[in-house]
Protein backbone atom coordinates (compact mmCIF):
# COMPACT_ATOMS: atom_id res chain seq x y z
CA UNK A 1 0.00 0.00 0.00
CA UNK A 2 1.25 3.49 -0.84
CA UNK A 3 1.80 5.34 2.44
CA UNK A 4 -0.22 8.39 3.45
CA UNK A 5 2.65 10.83 3.54
CA UNK A 6 2.11 13.95 5.63
CA UNK A 7 5.77 14.84 6.09
CA UNK A 8 5.60 17.72 3.62
CA UNK A 9 3.70 19.22 0.69
CA UNK A 10 6.97 18.95 -1.25
CA UNK A 11 6.05 15.28 -1.71
CA UNK A 12 3.32 16.12 -4.21
CA UNK A 13 3.79 14.41 -7.57
CA UNK A 14 3.40 16.40 -10.80
CA UNK A 15 -0.09 16.22 -12.32
CA UNK A 16 -0.71 14.49 -15.68
CA UNK A 17 -1.20 17.96 -17.25
CA UNK A 18 2.21 19.02 -15.90
CA UNK A 19 3.93 15.92 -17.29
CA UNK A 20 2.42 16.60 -20.70
CA UNK A 21 3.35 20.29 -20.62
CA UNK A 22 6.91 19.40 -19.56
CA UNK A 23 7.32 16.88 -22.37
CA UNK A 24 6.07 19.32 -25.00
CA UNK A 25 7.67 22.54 -23.71
CA UNK A 26 9.44 24.82 -26.15
CA UNK A 27 12.88 25.41 -24.63
CA UNK A 28 16.19 27.25 -25.09
CA UNK A 29 19.35 28.02 -23.15
CA UNK A 30 18.31 30.12 -20.17
CA UNK A 31 21.83 31.27 -19.29
CA UNK A 32 21.65 33.03 -22.68
CA UNK A 33 18.12 34.14 -21.65
CA UNK A 34 16.69 32.26 -24.61
CA UNK A 35 14.15 29.93 -23.02
CA UNK A 36 10.66 31.06 -24.08
CA UNK A 37 8.77 28.89 -21.58
CA UNK A 38 10.91 30.08 -18.69
CA UNK A 39 10.38 33.69 -19.74
CA UNK A 40 6.67 33.10 -19.81
CA UNK A 41 6.74 31.71 -16.26
CA UNK A 42 8.86 34.62 -15.00
CA UNK A 43 6.50 37.13 -16.59
CA UNK A 44 3.48 35.47 -15.00
CA UNK A 45 5.19 35.27 -11.58
CA UNK A 46 6.09 38.96 -11.71
CA UNK A 47 2.52 39.83 -12.64
CA UNK A 48 1.00 37.75 -9.82
CA UNK A 49 3.26 39.35 -7.20
CA UNK A 50 2.93 42.84 -8.66
CA UNK A 51 6.66 43.17 -9.37
CA UNK A 52 8.56 44.30 -12.47
CA UNK A 53 10.55 41.16 -12.96
CA UNK A 54 11.15 37.59 -11.77
CA UNK A 55 13.86 34.94 -11.77
CA UNK A 56 13.45 31.15 -11.71
CA UNK A 57 15.69 29.30 -9.22
CA UNK A 58 15.96 25.57 -8.52
CA UNK A 59 14.86 25.79 -4.87
CA UNK A 60 13.38 28.05 -2.23
CA UNK A 61 16.64 27.87 -0.30
CA UNK A 62 18.56 29.22 -3.29
CA UNK A 63 15.85 31.85 -3.81
CA UNK A 64 16.27 33.16 -0.26
CA UNK A 65 20.07 32.97 -0.41
CA UNK A 66 20.30 34.80 -3.74
CA UNK A 67 17.82 37.42 -2.50
CA UNK A 68 19.79 38.09 0.68
CA UNK A 69 23.05 38.22 -1.32
CA UNK A 70 21.43 40.73 -3.68
CA UNK A 71 20.28 42.97 -0.80
CA UNK A 72 23.34 42.79 1.47
CA UNK A 73 27.08 43.16 1.52
CA UNK A 74 29.40 41.13 3.73
CA UNK A 75 29.17 42.36 7.32
CA UNK A 76 25.62 43.67 6.96
CA UNK A 77 23.06 42.59 9.54
CA UNK A 78 19.59 41.29 8.82
CA UNK A 79 16.63 40.97 11.18
CA UNK A 80 14.73 37.69 11.12
CA UNK A 81 12.50 35.51 13.27
CA UNK A 82 13.90 32.78 15.50
CA UNK A 83 11.42 30.30 13.92
CA UNK A 84 12.12 31.41 10.35
CA UNK A 85 13.11 28.95 7.67
CA UNK A 86 16.08 31.11 6.61
CA UNK A 87 17.47 31.01 10.14
CA UNK A 88 16.62 27.41 11.04
CA UNK A 89 16.68 25.35 7.86
CA UNK A 90 18.95 26.81 5.21
CA UNK A 91 22.30 25.52 6.48
CA UNK A 92 23.36 29.01 7.57
CA UNK A 93 24.03 29.82 3.92
CA UNK A 94 23.65 33.56 4.29
CA UNK A 95 26.48 33.55 6.85
CA UNK A 96 28.65 30.89 5.24
CA UNK A 97 28.41 32.21 1.68
CA UNK A 98 27.32 35.81 2.13
CA UNK A 99 29.06 36.91 5.35
CA UNK A 100 25.71 38.24 6.49
CA UNK A 101 25.11 38.60 10.23
CA UNK A 102 21.74 37.44 11.61
CA UNK A 103 19.94 39.32 14.39
CA UNK A 104 17.28 37.02 15.73
CA UNK A 105 13.90 38.29 16.95
CA UNK A 106 11.59 35.83 18.76
CA UNK A 107 8.60 35.16 16.52
CA UNK A 108 5.11 35.68 17.92
CA UNK A 109 3.10 32.42 17.86
CA UNK A 110 1.29 33.68 14.73
CA UNK A 111 4.55 34.09 12.79
CA UNK A 112 4.66 37.88 13.03
CA UNK A 113 7.50 39.74 14.75
CA UNK A 114 6.88 41.98 17.78
CA UNK A 115 7.11 45.46 16.27
CA UNK A 116 8.62 47.33 19.27
CA UNK A 117 11.34 44.68 19.55
CA UNK A 118 11.90 44.81 15.80
CA UNK A 119 12.32 48.58 15.95
CA UNK A 120 14.65 48.36 18.98
CA UNK A 121 16.83 45.87 17.11
CA UNK A 122 17.59 48.27 14.28
CA UNK A 123 21.14 49.52 14.79
CA UNK A 124 22.11 53.15 15.23
CA UNK A 125 25.20 54.16 13.36
CA UNK A 126 28.07 53.41 15.73
CA UNK A 127 31.65 52.29 15.11
CA UNK A 128 30.92 49.05 17.01
CA UNK A 129 27.85 47.97 15.05
CA UNK A 130 27.21 46.15 11.81
CA UNK A 131 24.76 48.14 9.66
CA UNK A 132 21.19 46.82 9.64
CA UNK A 133 20.18 46.30 6.02
CA UNK A 134 17.22 43.99 5.70
CA UNK A 135 14.12 42.60 7.43
CA UNK A 136 13.08 39.07 6.46
CA UNK A 137 9.49 37.91 6.93
CA UNK A 138 7.87 34.56 6.20
CA UNK A 139 4.32 34.01 4.87
CA UNK A 140 2.76 31.54 5.54
CA UNK A 141 4.94 30.92 8.55
CA UNK A 142 5.93 27.26 8.34
CA UNK A 143 7.08 26.68 11.93
CA UNK A 144 4.33 28.87 13.41
CA UNK A 145 1.46 26.53 12.48
CA UNK A 146 1.48 27.67 8.85
CA UNK A 147 0.01 31.03 9.90
CA UNK A 148 -0.81 33.52 7.17
CA UNK A 149 0.55 37.02 7.89
CA UNK A 150 -1.93 39.81 7.20
CA UNK A 151 -1.52 42.75 4.82
CA UNK A 152 -1.90 45.03 7.88
CA UNK A 153 1.18 43.47 9.48
CA UNK A 154 3.10 43.90 6.22
CA UNK A 155 2.02 47.57 6.18
CA UNK A 156 3.34 48.20 9.69
CA UNK A 157 6.70 46.59 8.91
CA UNK A 158 6.89 48.76 5.78
CA UNK A 159 6.46 51.87 7.92
CA UNK A 160 9.47 50.81 10.02
CA UNK A 161 11.54 49.84 6.99
CA UNK A 162 10.89 53.18 5.33
CA UNK A 163 11.62 55.11 8.53
CA UNK A 164 15.06 53.46 8.88
CA UNK A 165 15.92 52.97 5.20
CA UNK A 166 15.76 49.16 5.32
CA UNK A 167 14.64 46.64 2.70
CA UNK A 168 12.13 43.83 3.20
CA UNK A 169 12.54 40.31 1.83
CA UNK A 170 9.54 38.02 2.05
CA UNK A 171 10.07 34.27 2.22
CA UNK A 172 6.75 33.47 0.58
CA UNK A 173 7.42 29.77 0.00
CA UNK A 174 3.66 29.30 0.61
CA UNK A 175 2.42 32.80 -0.26
CA UNK A 176 -0.34 31.31 -2.42
CA UNK A 177 -1.60 29.38 0.63
CA UNK A 178 -1.67 32.67 2.53
CA UNK A 179 -3.58 34.48 -0.23
CA UNK A 180 -6.12 31.68 -0.60
CA UNK A 181 -6.59 31.43 3.20
CA UNK A 182 -7.16 35.19 3.52
CA UNK A 183 -9.17 35.29 0.30
CA UNK A 184 -7.10 38.11 -1.20
CA UNK A 185 -4.76 38.55 -4.16
CA UNK A 186 -1.12 37.53 -3.67
CA UNK A 187 -0.17 41.03 -4.75
CA UNK A 188 -1.85 42.46 -1.63
CA UNK A 189 0.61 40.44 0.48
CA UNK A 190 3.73 41.13 -1.57
CA UNK A 191 3.17 44.86 -2.19
CA UNK A 192 5.21 45.98 0.82
CA UNK A 193 8.13 43.62 0.20
CA UNK A 194 11.10 44.71 -1.91
CA UNK A 195 11.67 41.10 -2.91
CA UNK A 196 9.63 37.95 -2.55
CA UNK A 197 10.47 34.28 -3.06
CA UNK A 198 7.76 31.68 -3.60
CA UNK A 199 7.85 27.93 -4.26
CA UNK A 200 6.17 26.00 -7.06
CA UNK A 201 7.28 22.68 -5.59
CA UNK A 202 5.11 22.59 -2.45
CA UNK A 203 1.31 22.64 -2.44
CA UNK A 204 1.36 23.89 -6.02
CA UNK A 205 2.65 20.41 -6.94
CA UNK A 206 5.33 21.27 -9.50
CA UNK A 207 8.39 18.98 -9.34
CA UNK A 208 11.08 21.69 -9.11
CA UNK A 209 11.46 25.40 -8.74
CA UNK A 210 10.91 28.71 -7.00
CA UNK A 211 10.78 32.31 -8.13
CA UNK A 212 12.31 35.53 -6.90
CA UNK A 213 10.19 38.56 -7.78
CA UNK A 214 11.33 42.17 -7.45
CA UNK A 215 12.39 45.26 -9.41
CA UNK A 216 14.14 44.87 -12.77
CA UNK A 217 17.41 46.14 -11.29
CA UNK A 218 17.27 43.75 -8.33
CA UNK A 219 16.55 40.77 -10.58
CA UNK A 220 19.58 41.67 -12.69
CA UNK A 221 21.77 41.44 -9.58
CA UNK A 222 20.01 38.25 -8.50
CA UNK A 223 20.65 36.67 -11.92
CA UNK A 224 24.38 37.22 -11.42
CA UNK A 225 24.32 35.74 -7.90
CA UNK A 226 22.26 32.79 -9.10
CA UNK A 227 25.02 32.07 -11.65
CA UNK A 228 27.65 32.45 -8.92
CA UNK A 229 26.06 29.79 -6.72
CA UNK A 230 25.66 27.44 -9.66
CA UNK A 231 21.97 28.00 -10.32
CA UNK A 232 22.24 29.06 -13.96
CA UNK A 233 20.24 26.44 -15.86
CA UNK A 234 19.99 25.59 -19.53
CA UNK A 235 16.75 24.12 -20.98
CA UNK A 236 14.92 24.81 -17.73
CA UNK A 237 11.75 25.55 -19.66
CA UNK A 238 10.89 21.89 -19.15
CA UNK A 239 10.61 22.69 -15.44
CA UNK A 240 8.95 26.04 -16.02
CA UNK A 241 6.22 24.33 -18.05
CA UNK A 242 5.07 22.51 -14.92
CA UNK A 243 5.24 25.79 -12.97
CA UNK A 244 2.94 27.46 -15.51
CA UNK A 245 0.36 24.70 -15.04
CA UNK A 246 0.67 25.19 -11.27
CA UNK A 247 0.10 28.95 -11.38
CA UNK A 248 -2.66 28.77 -13.95
CA UNK A 249 -4.65 25.82 -12.59
CA UNK A 250 -3.68 24.70 -9.11
CA UNK A 251 -3.88 27.76 -6.88
CA UNK A 252 -7.54 27.59 -5.85
CA UNK A 253 -7.15 23.88 -5.13
CA UNK A 254 -5.02 24.81 -2.08
CA UNK A 255 -8.35 25.47 -0.34
CA UNK A 256 -8.95 21.70 -0.23
CA UNK A 257 -5.71 21.22 1.68
CA UNK A 258 -6.71 23.91 4.17
CA UNK A 259 -10.10 22.31 4.68
CA UNK A 260 -8.52 18.87 5.16
CA UNK A 261 -6.05 20.34 7.66
CA UNK A 262 -8.86 21.94 9.61
CA UNK A 263 -10.87 18.72 9.70
CA UNK A 264 -7.87 16.63 10.71
CA UNK A 265 -6.92 19.15 13.43
CA UNK A 266 -10.47 19.06 14.81
CA UNK A 267 -10.33 15.29 15.06
CA UNK A 268 -6.81 15.17 16.52
CA UNK A 269 -7.68 17.78 19.15
CA UNK A 270 -10.28 15.36 20.57
CA UNK A 271 -7.74 12.57 21.09
CA UNK A 272 -6.38 12.07 24.61
CA UNK A 273 -2.60 12.39 24.57
CA UNK A 274 -2.53 15.02 21.83
CA UNK A 275 -2.09 18.71 22.54
CA UNK A 276 -3.31 20.83 19.68
CA UNK A 277 -4.90 24.25 19.42
CA UNK A 278 -7.14 23.78 16.41
CA UNK A 279 -8.06 27.48 16.27
CA UNK A 280 -4.49 28.13 15.05
CA UNK A 281 -4.88 25.99 11.93
CA UNK A 282 -5.51 28.39 9.05
CA UNK A 283 -3.67 26.75 6.14
CA UNK A 284 -2.24 23.29 5.38
CA UNK A 285 0.18 22.81 8.28
CA UNK A 286 -0.62 21.24 11.66
CA UNK A 287 1.75 21.06 14.61
CA UNK A 288 0.85 19.06 17.69
CA UNK A 289 2.47 17.73 20.86
CA UNK A 290 2.32 14.20 22.10
CA UNK A 291 1.71 13.81 25.80
CA UNK A 292 1.20 10.12 26.48
CA UNK A 293 2.32 8.12 29.55
CA UNK A 294 3.52 5.05 27.58
CA UNK A 295 4.30 6.18 24.04
CA UNK A 296 7.23 8.43 23.26
CA UNK A 297 7.88 10.32 20.02
CA UNK A 298 10.01 7.70 18.26
CA UNK A 299 7.60 4.91 19.19
CA UNK A 300 4.68 6.98 17.89
CA UNK A 301 6.44 7.52 14.54
CA UNK A 302 7.22 3.79 14.28
CA UNK A 303 3.67 2.72 15.12
CA UNK A 304 2.34 5.12 12.47
CA UNK A 305 4.82 3.86 9.88
CA UNK A 306 3.69 0.32 10.57
CA UNK A 307 0.22 1.53 9.53
CA UNK A 308 1.66 3.20 6.41
CA UNK A 309 1.36 6.76 7.72
CA UNK A 310 4.30 9.15 7.72
CA UNK A 311 4.59 12.38 9.68
CA UNK A 312 7.56 14.45 10.77
CA UNK A 313 8.88 14.82 14.32
CA UNK A 314 10.34 18.36 14.33
CA UNK A 315 11.40 18.38 17.99
CA UNK A 316 11.21 15.61 20.62
CA UNK A 317 7.48 14.98 21.08
CA UNK A 318 6.48 17.67 18.55
CA UNK A 319 5.02 16.63 15.21
CA UNK A 320 4.17 18.32 11.93
CA UNK A 321 1.55 17.06 9.50
CA UNK A 322 1.22 18.84 6.16
CA UNK A 323 -1.84 18.40 3.97
CA UNK A 324 -1.41 18.39 0.19
CA UNK A 325 -2.84 17.28 -3.15
CA UNK A 326 -1.83 13.64 -2.70
CA UNK A 327 -3.72 13.23 0.59
CA UNK A 328 -7.47 12.87 0.18
CA UNK A 329 -10.27 13.67 2.60
CA UNK A 330 -10.81 9.94 3.22
CA UNK A 331 -7.13 9.51 4.01
CA UNK A 332 -7.28 12.25 6.65
CA UNK A 333 -10.10 10.25 8.29
CA UNK A 334 -7.85 7.18 8.25
CA UNK A 335 -5.03 9.18 9.85
CA UNK A 336 -7.26 10.45 12.67
CA UNK A 337 -8.68 6.97 13.33
CA UNK A 338 -5.24 5.35 13.29
CA UNK A 339 -3.76 7.88 15.72
CA UNK A 340 -6.77 7.43 17.99
CA UNK A 341 -6.30 3.66 18.04
CA UNK A 342 -2.53 3.88 18.60
CA UNK A 343 -2.90 6.23 21.57
CA UNK A 344 -5.68 4.24 23.24
CA UNK A 345 -3.57 1.05 23.17
Ligand X SMILES: *Cc1c(COP(=O)(O)O)cnc(C)c1O
Nearer residue to ligand X within complex by CB, 271 or 286: 286
Give, as ranges, the residues between 271 and 330 that touch ligand X (CB under 6 A).
Answer: none
Cite the DSSP H helix spans in the chain.
Answer: 16-24, 36-49, 60-71, 85-89, 93-96, 115-120, 151-164, 175-182, 186-190, 216-228, 237-249, 254-269, 297-306, 329-343
Under the criterion CB under 6 A, does residue 173 sit at the interface with ligand X?
Answer: yes
Under the criterion CB under 6 A, does residue 67 sit at the interface with ligand X?
Answer: no
Q: Exposure string (b/e) for 124-157, b if CB count within 10 Å is 16 or more?
A: eeeeeeebbbbbbbbbbbbbbbbbbbbbebbeeb
Distance from C-alpha of 219 to C-alpha of 217, rounded to nearest angstrom: 5
Under the criterion CB under 6 A, does residue 5 sit at the interface with ligand X?
Answer: no
Find the shortest distance in angstroms from Cβ 74 to ligand X.
23
Angle, vertex CA 284, rays to CA 135 and CA 84, nearest 5: 25
**Sole window of 59-67, 123-131, 150-158, 229-237 interacting with ligand X (rule: CB under 6 A):** 59-67
**Sole window of 58-66, 158-166, 273-281, 291-299 interacting with ligand X (rule: CB under 6 A):** 58-66
Residue from the set 138, 258, 264, 290 that interacts with ligand X by CB under 6 A: 138
Count of residues that interact with ligand X, criterion CB under 6 A: 12
Please enumerate in sequence order all residues whose Cβ is within 8 A of that of 180, keeping only pairs 6 or more positions apart, or say none: 251, 252, 254, 255, 258
Find the shortest distance in angstroms from Cβ 253 to ligand X.
18
The dihedral region occupied by 275, where left means phi > 0, alpha psi between -120 and 50, and beta the remainder, is: beta
Under the criterion CB under 6 A, does residue 12 sit at the interface with ligand X?
Answer: no
Distance from C-alpha of 122 to C-alpha of 181, rounded to nearest angstrom: 31
Find the shortest distance in angstroms from Cβ 228 to ligand X.
17
Residue from the set 5, 30, 171, 194 that interacts with ligand X by CB under 6 A: 171
Distance from C-alpha of 313 to C-alpha of 303, rounded to nearest angstrom: 13
Under the criterion CB under 6 A, does residue 60 sit at the interface with ligand X?
Answer: yes
Q: Which H/E stretch holds residue 315?
A: strand 312-315
Residue from the set 12, 49, 61, 192 that interacts with ligand X by CB under 6 A: 61
Distance from C-alpha of 172 to C-alpha of 178, rounded to nearest angstrom: 9
Under the criterion CB under 6 A, does residue 142 sit at the interface with ligand X?
Answer: yes
Residue from the set 85, 133, 258, 282 that interacts with ligand X by CB under 6 A: 85
Give, as ranges, the residues between 196 and 225 that touch ligand X (CB under 6 A).
Answer: 199, 201, 210
Distance from C-alpha of 243 to C-alpha of 207, rounded to nearest angstrom: 8
Find the shortest distance in angstroms from Cβ 250 to ligand X.
17
Nearer residue to ligand X within complex by CB, 222 or 342: 222
Under the criterion CB under 6 A, does residue 145 sit at the interface with ligand X?
Answer: no
Residues that bind ligand X (CB under 6 A): 59-61, 64, 85, 138, 142, 171, 173, 199, 201, 210
Amino acid sequence: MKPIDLRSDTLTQPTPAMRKAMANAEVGDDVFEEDPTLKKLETLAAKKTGKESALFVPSGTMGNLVSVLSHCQRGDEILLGDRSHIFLHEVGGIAALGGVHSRIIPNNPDGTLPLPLLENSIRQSDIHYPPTRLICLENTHNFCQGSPLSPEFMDSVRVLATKYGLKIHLDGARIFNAAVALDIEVETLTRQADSVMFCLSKGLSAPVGSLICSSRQFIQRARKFRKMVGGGMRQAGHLAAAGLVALENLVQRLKDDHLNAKTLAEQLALIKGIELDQTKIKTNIIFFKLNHPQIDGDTFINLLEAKSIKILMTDPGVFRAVLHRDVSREQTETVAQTIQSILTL
